[in-house]
Structures are given as structure tokens and as C-alpha cells.
């Protein structure tokens, strides 16, 4: 047993296995907390409130089974980043915007090229990186591949997501089959999106943004599961493109708007939470339904965003390398900031749940009807980006995973962005990455320094922990050869 005191709160972690820890129910907690982590990945107690946030999440009305935290956990807004929680809709379960976060539908997609690492030697790599540098909008407030001029166009995109983008010529119909929810979340309601959120979204469709968002050229370095890697097309040496971004200012504004609405509404429903950032409302309430409609609209914006960046990436490949090498097949696109209505068996019976995943990735098992036919026998590809300049991973969903088919979403921060900038200058980091064989195209030196690899946990240990905890299965390890970021 490990005992810790976090912001005056005494939290006891009970080690059940080397990769699973329990926080027993105490006080207002309705369920225990469960933390998936190795000893080395447990959060630092100085300045990190994620364990206390797990305890807070466990107090939410209607929560079932446990408040979960993934190995990449760190402090977030209300919920820890790396948090998973499900509430029973028919038993007064709530939805909390803090359980999704400000970057609604932030997620990852992986594109497979027909190139090997040897095909991008020397100037060919530089030509491709220069083309991506020109065609990928990024940076704070900047956009966009597709500048929408009318509200009705944005309404259509918020309703149709990637499907609308493809219909308008920004992609291929085959892209949609390998998107979560086939590219669009149902029940999106643009009427629940404020005018301010709409204004922020109009000029940013098809842009990376800033922070930890990126587009990377990667090479499959190692294969852990040859059969699954073959099914996913992940042969050693193959060049891939990973895109990590979300719903930009529109999603951020939606979260802000609905947190405030729920703070005003909670007294009417007799809801009390230990932290204002856990503001929530019953899923079936008007406030809950309005948030879910707006959240789904933002999710579709995020998916369309990644679809538009895919179209721009294909154009860059074509311009830099010619038509013969412009093909990029989508392996999968999945969100890691979302709340979804799902059916799961809990305590021996099927229950309708609102499953919050914040910095946690959906990981559907083999045979799940939500997967396309060609992936169904193998399980869902799970895309786990590492920190800039380190490896990323592809995992696969497994049967019987405990946390509502969820696993990690990345490496997880150790240092704040300000702390990272105090330790290294962006120019120095650029030189280090270039010396390591990673071509860099960045909108700012500050943006580079904020995302220095030492600011993150060891992604290799994170995914190994997920596998050993039974949350997912490792398939392949990818390393960067080029990075485009804000």
C-alpha cells in the first residue's frame, strides 16, 4: 500500500498488480478509483492533482464500476487527462464537459503511404517537408485549408463531419469506412453552438492549431504482433503520416459555454460536486441534451478538420513526389476526447451508459459491430502518439478489457509548457532533432520548446503498461523522420 497526501487529501493507493492500483471508496465517493500505471508512471505528487481528480470523479451521480485513470494520466480540468468514467443514464447519470475537455474530439489519424524510408532519402524528404510546410495551416488562431464563408456551410459540416468534407471533394469515399462512427457523430445539434463558438470555427477548418498538435512523417520501426501488423498494413520501413488535432476554438468555446450553463443548473437537480470544474447535469436533462448536441457538433468539426488536413497532405505528396506516390490510405481515425452513449454489461445486466473518455482512446475488441468488416476480425487500431522526436505506437483493442474498451492516448505530460521553455530554447531543440534525423518545420521556436520530449512520460513504458494491464495489445512502433507543428 502507498499512502499519499494530495492538496490536504489523504489518498491511499493499494497495489493490486504491478500495473493496477486501487483507491478505495471514502467519503462522498460512489465507486472506487482504479489507476493503471507502473511504479515509475505513477503521477508525481508535487504539483500534479490527478489522483485527487480521480477521487473527485468518483463522486459523480450515476457513476458505475470505477473512476479510471490510464498510465499517461496527469492533471486536467476537473477530470484527469487520461480519465475514463461511465454514468448510468437511467439511474440519474450525469454528463460533465470536464470529462471531455476543451479540445472536443481531439484525436489521431494514421495514413499509410506506398513509400519506404529509402524512398525519402536526401532532397526528396526536404521537398516533401517544404510542401507540407506550405500547405498545412498551423499556429495559434491560424487556419485554414477550407475557409467557410457562410453559416449554413458550417452547420452542414457540424452535422456531417468527415462525410460532408468528402462530399465536397476533400477526400475519398473509402476514407470514411476507417473513421470512428464512419466519420460523423449522430445527433449533432448546431443550434446548441453559440454564435461566438461559430465565429471561432468559421476560419479554422482544416488547421493543426498549436500546443501538442502535429503532423508527422513516420516510419514503422518495430513490429510486436506480425499477424496484426500485416492486417493493418504496417510493414517494417513503411512511411506513414500521423495527424493529431481537434476542434480548435469552436470546441474550446463550446466547453466553456456549457460548463457555465451546468454550474447554474446543478442546484436545480440537487447536485453537489467537490470541484466546480466537475460541473455536470443529468444526461436526460435539457442542459445535458444541449451539451451532448453541441459536443457532437464539435466532434464532427474535429473529424472534418483531420479529413481536410488529409486532403492537403495528399496534395503535398503529389506536388513533391509526383502522382505515382500521392496515394495515402487511411488506417484509422479515432478521438480521445469524447463522451459517447454506449451499452455495457455492469453487475450482470446491460446498461445504457454515458462513457466519458478524456485523454483516453476507444479500443474496440475483435468482433465488435462498430468496426468495419475488414478490421472486425482483428480489433480496432489504437493510435498512440508519443512526444515530438520520440516514438508513436499502434495498438489494437482486446476482448475483456476492463475500462469500457478504453486505453491510453499518448505519452502524458510531466512538465508544463512554461517549465519546458525554461529548460530549452526552440532553436536548440530544432538542432537536436535535425541531428537525430528528424526534419522540422515549425511555426515558432516557442511552440517547439513547449513540446520538448523531456516534458513527457516514456511512451514505450505507457503502452507496455497498457498491454500488461490488459487494456490493449501492442502492434507496431513508429519513429518520426519529419514533424510539422505550430
The catalytic residue among 170, 409, 418, 425 is 409
Phi-psi region of 48 (alpha: psi -120 to 50; beta: other; left: phi over 0): beta
Helix (H, G, I), strand (E, B) or coil at 244: strand
57 contacts 99 by C-beta, under 8 angstroms: yes
Which residues are bridge partners to 397 per DSSP? none
Residues forming beta bridges with residue 384, ordered by sequence position:
393
- Using DSSP, state whether 238 is helix, strand or coil: strand
Provide the strand spans (E) within 336-458.
Answer: 337-346, 349-358, 361-362, 381-384, 392-396, 406-407, 439-442
Catalytic-residue membership of 409: yes
Identify the three-state secondary structure at position 378: coil
d(CA 227, CA 327): 24
The partner residues of 219 in beta bridges, in order of sequence, read: 239, 479
CA 453 to chain CA centroid, nearest Å: 18
> What cell does 311 get?
486532403
Using N-to-C axis directions, what is the helix angle for 195-202 and 151-167, rounded to 10°? 50
Rounded (10°) CA dihedral 447, 242, 128, 235: 140
Q: Taking the CB of residue 5, how many other CB atoms lie within 10 A of it?
A: 10
Q: Do β-strands 406-407 and 439-442 pair in parallel, antiparallel, or remain unpaired? A: unpaired
Check the CA dihedral 282-286-289-294 and report its sign.
negative
Q: What are phi and psi of 384, to 5 degrees?
A: -125, 95
Other beta carbons within 10 Å of 26:
14
Q: Where are the alpha helices (H) located in 322-425, listed in sequence order?
A: 417-423
Could you tell me if 304 and 279 are in contact, meaning their C-beta atoms sit under 8 angstroms apart? no
Tell me which residues are annotated as active site: 409
Amino acid at each position: 500500500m502507498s499512502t499519499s497526501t494530495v492538496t490536504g487529501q489523504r489518498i491511499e493507493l493499494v497495489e493490486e498488480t504491478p500495473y493496477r492500483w486501487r483507491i478505495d471508496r471514502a467519503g462522498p465517493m460512489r465507486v472506487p478509483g482504479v489507476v493503471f500505471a507502473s511504479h515509475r508512471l505513477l503521477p508525481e505528487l508535487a504539483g500534479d492533482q490527478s489522483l485527487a481528480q480521480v477521487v473527485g470523479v468518483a463522486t459523480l451521480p450515476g457513476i458505475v464500476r470505477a473512476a479510471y485513470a490510464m498510465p499517461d494520466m496527469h492533471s486536467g480540468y476537473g477530470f484527469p487527462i487520461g480519465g475514463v468514467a461511465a454514468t448510468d443514464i437511467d439511474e440519474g447519470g450525469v454528463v460533465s464537459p470536464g470529462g471531455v475537455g476543451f479540445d472536443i474530439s481531439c484525436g489521431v489519424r494514421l495514413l499509410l503511404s506506398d513509400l519506404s524510408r529509402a524512398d525519402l532519402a536526401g532532397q526528396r524528404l526536404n521537398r516533401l517537408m517544404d510542401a507540407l510546410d506550405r500547405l498545412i495551416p498551423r499556429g495559434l488562431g491560424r487556419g485554414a485549408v477550407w475557409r467557410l464563408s457562410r453559416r449554413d456551410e458550417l452547420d452542414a459540416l457540424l452535422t456531417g463531419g468527415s462525410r460532408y468534407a468528402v462530399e465536397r471533394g476533400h477526400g475519398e469515399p473509402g476514407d470514411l469506412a476507417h473513421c470512428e462512427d464512419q466519420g460523423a457523430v449522430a445527433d449533432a445539434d448546431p443550434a446548441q453552438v453559440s454564435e461566438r463558438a461559430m465565429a471561432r470555427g468559421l476560419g479554422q477548418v482544416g488547421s493543426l492549431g498549436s500546443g501538442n498538435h502535429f503532423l508527422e512523417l513516420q516510419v514503422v520501426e518495430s513490429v510486436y504482433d506480425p499477424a496484426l501488423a500485416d492486417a493493418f498494413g504496417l510493414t517494417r520501413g513503411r512511411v506513414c503520416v500521423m495527424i493529431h488535432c481537434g476542434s480548435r476554438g469552436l470546441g474550446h468555446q463550446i466547453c466553456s459555454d456549457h460548463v457555465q450553463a451546468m454550474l447554474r443548473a446543478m442546484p436545480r437537480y440537487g447536485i453537489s460536486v467537490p470541484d466546480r470544474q466537475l460541473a455536470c447535469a443529468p444526461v436526460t436533462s435539457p442542459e445535458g441534451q444541449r451539451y451532448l448536441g453541441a459536443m457532437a457538433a464539435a466532434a464532427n468539426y474535429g473529424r472534418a478538420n483531420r479529413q481536410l488536413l488529409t486532403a492537403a497532405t495528399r496534395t503535398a505528396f503529389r506536388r513533391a513526389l509526383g502522382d505515382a506516390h500521392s496515394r495515402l490510405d487511411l488506417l484509422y481515425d479515432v478521438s480521445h476526447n469524447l463522451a459517447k452513449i454506449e451499452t455495457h454489461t455492469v453487475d450482470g445486466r446491460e446498461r445504457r451508459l454515458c462513457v466519458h473518455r478524456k485523454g483516453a482512446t476507444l479500443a474496440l475488441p475483435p468482433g465488435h459491430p462498430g468496426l468495419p468488416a475488414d478490421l472486425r476480425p482483428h480489433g480496432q487500431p489504437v493510435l498512440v502518439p508519443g512526444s515530438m522526436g520520440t516514438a508513436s505506437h499502434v495498438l489494437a483493442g482486446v476482448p475483456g478489457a476492463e475500462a469500457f474498451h478504453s486505453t491510453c492516448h499518448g505519452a502524458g505530460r510531466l512538465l508544463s509548457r512554461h517549465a519546458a521553455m525554461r529548460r530549452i530554447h526552440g532553436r536548440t531543440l530544432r538542432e537536436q532533432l535535425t541531428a537525430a534525423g528528424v526534419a522540422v518545420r515549425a511555426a515558432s521556436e516557442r511552440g517547439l520548446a513547449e513540446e520538448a520530449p523531456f516534458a513527457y512520460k516514456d511512451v514505450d513504458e505507457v503502452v507496455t503498461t497498457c498491454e500488461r494491464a490488459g487494456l490493449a495489445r501492442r502492434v507496431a512502433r513508429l519513429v518520426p523522420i519529419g514533424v510539422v507543428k505550430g
